[in-house]
């Protein structure tokens, strides 16, 4: 029996497959398309996704094929400089076409031993107490312990499981094309600059070689968005919006997309889970869709692997929805707001001018920018401290930070303004450990199938307040911070001060793992 079947071998499915294989899970990825798509729907990766790739030791591959661009101007295309002192070592957006992202993730999945079957669409599934029977289009039936739908906004898996997908239908359509033009780059840039003073949903520019990418509002909402527009329709809209069709000809791909916002009522149905566009769709403003899917996979991977391995508490898999559903809901909200701000209606333009003025305040600019690049994510854990539920980033080697270890590799003592969070994760995602008290205990725990890095660590220095700071150490996972009695394990917990005033390190193993990315 296969451990996990993944329906959909796009970026989300491939990321999830790699996450599962890192932990030895037997994975099969299915995709109804015969070949990977080479249509450029997404153009870049935001900060949080870049951090995830860095944790997995994959960032250098992506940097070699992408281009770094400065942050700023993301929210509703309002041009503002990047906020200062963002809490990241990767203060840039990585320009990289979706086909390249998908290829690099596919290469990584293949290195780890993931089997991908293309031209194999899922048409049916049944689940029982032991597993799932998946039926393919050619009549083949497969058995697996779990199945994850990463099969896009028109998800077959979601439909077969009768999971509701409420939300708002499209109000406007946008046309997208990859084609050739006779206009010069200077002409395209000049016209684009003029048009975008009022129409933010317009754009045309070089893509690769002699090909150009065109984005232009459609005349109306199509009944069937799966039917691509014609060249004549796209050229007509270019004339109507920009006053020229730029000599558009020889299209290699044409498509249309809407601004529907929908979210699955639940991300889990028994042994079936949803991730990426199968769980949520929204307007593409801000370039958040692909990034949101990658981060879904990063959150789900270790939890599903732990469940397959048998060491996870019963509620662990449910925490995937608890943590990621609110994140997607927030993205739906901010994309709705951005679409309103990008409208050409007089009222919307007035609100846009007001928001632009407010973004001149550093805190407003930071708040809205962090929404787009996913640095504002905070999982809903008990505790009022500002760090509770937030990721603890891996510091830049030369950065000065209160979350840096000293020369001996020891982190500061536990206190509210300087959380003691343990050592950073390695580039492969495995916790870096040095020999210390409790190392034998860690080896015994690892031999029994528990996570690595569960040894004992002592913090140094006095603690001025009876506070406990918890840092997760589940293998391959990003660290998150929490305060208060450790309710989620396995974790490192720096306990409340003893009678002598110094906090002691303690190992907590409890009912539900602490939140991960």
pLDDT tens digits, residue range 33-49?
989 887 788 889 999 99
Can you give 108-141 as a three-state secondary structure string?
Answer: HHHHCCCEEEECCCEEEEEECCCCEEEEECCCCE
The answer to whether residues 181 and 247 touch, using CB atoms and an 8 Å cutoff, is yes
Residue 43, SS3? coil
Q: What is the mean pLDDT of the chain?
A: 80
pLDDT at 192 over 70: yes
426 falls in which pLDDT band (50, 70, 90)? very low
The answer to whether residues 96 and 67 touch, using CB atoms and an 8 Å cutoff, is yes
Write the Ramachandran bin of 311: left for phi over 0, alpha for psi from -120 to 50, otherwise beta.
Answer: alpha
User: Could you give the CA distance from residue 423 to residue 459 in angstroms, rounded to a whole number?
Assistant: 11
Q: Is the dihedral of CA 284, 287, 291, 292 positive or negative?
A: negative
Torsion of CA 230, 236, 241, 246, to 10 degrees: 90
User: Could you give the CA distance from residue 183 to residue 244 in angstroms, rounded to a whole number?
Assistant: 10
| Confidence (pLDDT) at 454 | 38
DSSP state at residue 423: P
The answer to whether residues 149 and 274 touch, using CB atoms and an 8 Å cutoff, is yes
Between 185-195 and 231-242, two packed helices, what is the crossing angle to 10 degrees? 60
Q: Say how many residues make up the chain.
A: 517
Residue 11, SS3? helix
| Confidence (pLDDT) at 277 | 96
DSSP state at residue 378: -
Percent of the chain with pLDDT over 70: 76
pLDDT at 403 over 80: no
Sequence-separated (6 or more) residues with CB below 8 Å from residue 298: 15, 19, 52, 478, 516, 517
74 falls in which pLDDT band (50, 70, 90)? confident
Query: Picking from 113-117, 264-268, 504-508, which range would have the lowest pLDDT averaged per residue?
Result: 504-508
pLDDT digits (tens, 9 = 90+) for 231-290: 999 999 999 999 999 999 999 999 998 899 999 999 999 999 999 999 999 998 888 999
Can you give 141-179 as a three-state secondary structure string?
Answer: EEEEEEEEECCCCCCHHHHHCCCCCCEECCCCEEEEEEE
Between 289-309 and 11-22, two packed helices, what is the crossing angle to 10 degrees? 30
DSSP state at residue 469: E
Residue 447, SS3? helix
Can you give 381-416 as a three-state secondary structure string?
Answer: CCCCCCCCCCECCCCCCCCCCCCCCCCCCCCCCCEC
User: Could you give the CA distance from residue 26 to residue 320 in angstroms, rounded to a whole number?
Assistant: 20
Nearest-CA neighbor of 382 among 488, 473, 466? 488
The per-residue DSSP string of 319-363 comes to: HHHHHHHHHHHHHHHHHHHHHHHT--SHHHHHHHHHHHHHTTSHH
| Confidence (pLDDT) at 394 | 59
220 CB-contact burial (10 Å; exposed 0-12 / middle 13-18 / buried 19+): exposed
User: Could you give the CA distance from residue 426 to residue 394 in angstroms, rounded to a whole number?
Assistant: 9
Q: Give me the mean pLDDT over the 310-339 stretch.
A: 94
Higher pLDDT pick, 178 / 401: 178
| Confidence (pLDDT) at 432 | 41
User: Could you give the CA distance from residue 286 to residue 292 in angstroms, rounded to a whole number?
Assistant: 11
| Confidence (pLDDT) at 395 | 53
Antiparallel, parallel or unpaired: β 27-31 and 2-7:
parallel
Please list the residues that pair with 141 across neighbouring strands: 135
77 falls in which pLDDT band (50, 70, 90)? confident
Nearest-CA neighbor of 480 among 455, 506, 452, 516? 516
441 falls in which pLDDT band (50, 70, 90)? low
Could you give the strand order of the β-sheet that contains 92-95, starting from the edge strand earlier in sequence? 44-45, 92-95, 67-70
Helix (H) or strand (E) run with residue 30 in it: strand 27-31
Q: Give me the mean pLDDT over the 436-460 stretch.
A: 45
| Confidence (pLDDT) at 502 | 31
List of domains in the chain? 2-169+261-373 (3.50.50.60), 173-258 (3.30.70.2450)
Q: Give me the mean pLDDT over the 88-109 stretch.
A: 94
Q: Which residue has the tokens 């009678």?
A: 499
Percent of the chain with pLDDT over 90: 61
The answer to whether residues 53 and 297 touch, using CB atoms and an 8 Å cutoff, is no
Please list the residues that pair with 31 across neighbouring strands: 118
Higher pLDDT pick, 508 / 223: 223
Please list the residues that pair with 253 across neighbouring strands: 178
* pTM (2 d.p.): 0.78
């Amino acid at each position: 029996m296969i451990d996990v079947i993944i329906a959909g071998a796009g970026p989300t499915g491939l990321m999830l497959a790699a996450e599962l294989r890192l932990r030895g899970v037997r994975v099969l990825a299915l995709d109804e398309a015969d070949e990977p798509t080479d249509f450029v729907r997404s153009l870049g990766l935001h900060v949080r996704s870049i951090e995830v790739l860095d944790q997995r030791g994959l960032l250098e591959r992506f940097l070699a094929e992408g281009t770094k661009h400065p942050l700023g101007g993301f929210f509703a295309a309002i041009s503002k400089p990047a906020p200062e002192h963002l809490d990241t070592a990767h203060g840039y957006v990585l320009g990289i076409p979706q086909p390249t992202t998908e290829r690099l993730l596919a290469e990584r999945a293949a290195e780890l031993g993931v089997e991908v079957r293309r031209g194999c669409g899922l048409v049916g599934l049944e689940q029982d107490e032991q597993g799932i029977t998946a039926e393919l289009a050619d009549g083949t039936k497969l058995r697996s312990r779990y199945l994850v739908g990463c099969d896009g906004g028109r998800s077959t898996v979601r439909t077969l499981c009768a999971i509701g997908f409420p939300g708002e239908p499209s109000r406007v359509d946008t046309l997208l094309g990859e084609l050739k033009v006779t206009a010069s780059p200077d002409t395209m840039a000049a016209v684009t600059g003029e048009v975008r003073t009022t129409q933010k949903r317009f754009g045309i520019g070089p893509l690769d070689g002699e090909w150009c990418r065109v984005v232009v509002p459609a005349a109306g909402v199509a009944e069937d968005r799966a039917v691509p527009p014609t060249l004549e329709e796209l050229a007509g809209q270019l004339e109507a919006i920009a006053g020229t069709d730029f000599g558009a000809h020889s299209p290699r791909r044409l498509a249309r997309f809407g601004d529907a916002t929908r979210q699955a009522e639940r991300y889990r149905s028994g042994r079936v889970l949803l991730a990426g566009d199968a769980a949520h769709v929204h307007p593409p403003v801000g370039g958040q869709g692909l990034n949101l899917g990658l981060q879904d996979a990063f959150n789900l991977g270790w939890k599903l692997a732990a469940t397959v391995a048998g060491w996870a508490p019963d509620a662990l898999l449910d925490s995937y929805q608890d943590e990621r559903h609110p994140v997607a809901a927030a993205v739906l909200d901010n994309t709705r707001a951005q679409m309103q701000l990008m409208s050409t209606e007089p009222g919307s333009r007035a609100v846009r001018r007001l928001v632009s003025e407010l973004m001149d305040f550093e805190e407003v600019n930071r708040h809205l920018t962090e929404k787009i690049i996913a640095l504002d994510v905070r999982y809903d854990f008990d505790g009022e401290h500002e760090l509770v539920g937030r990721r603890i980033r891996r510091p830049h080697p030369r950065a000065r930070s209160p979350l840096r270890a000293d020369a001996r590799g020891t982190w500061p003592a536990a206190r509210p303004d300087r959380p003691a969070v343990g050592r950073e994760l390695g580039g492969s995602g495995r916790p870096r450990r040095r020999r210390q008290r409790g190392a034998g205990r860690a080896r015994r725990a690892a031999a029994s199938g528990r996570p690595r890095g569960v040894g004992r660590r002592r913090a140094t220095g006095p603690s001025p307040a009876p506070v406990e700071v918890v840092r997760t150490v589940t293998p391959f996972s990003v660290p998150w911070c929490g305060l208060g009695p450790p309710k989620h394990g396995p974790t490192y917990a720096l306990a409340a001060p003893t009678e002598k005033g110094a906090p002691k390190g303690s190992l907590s193993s409890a009912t539900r793992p602490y939140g991960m990315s």
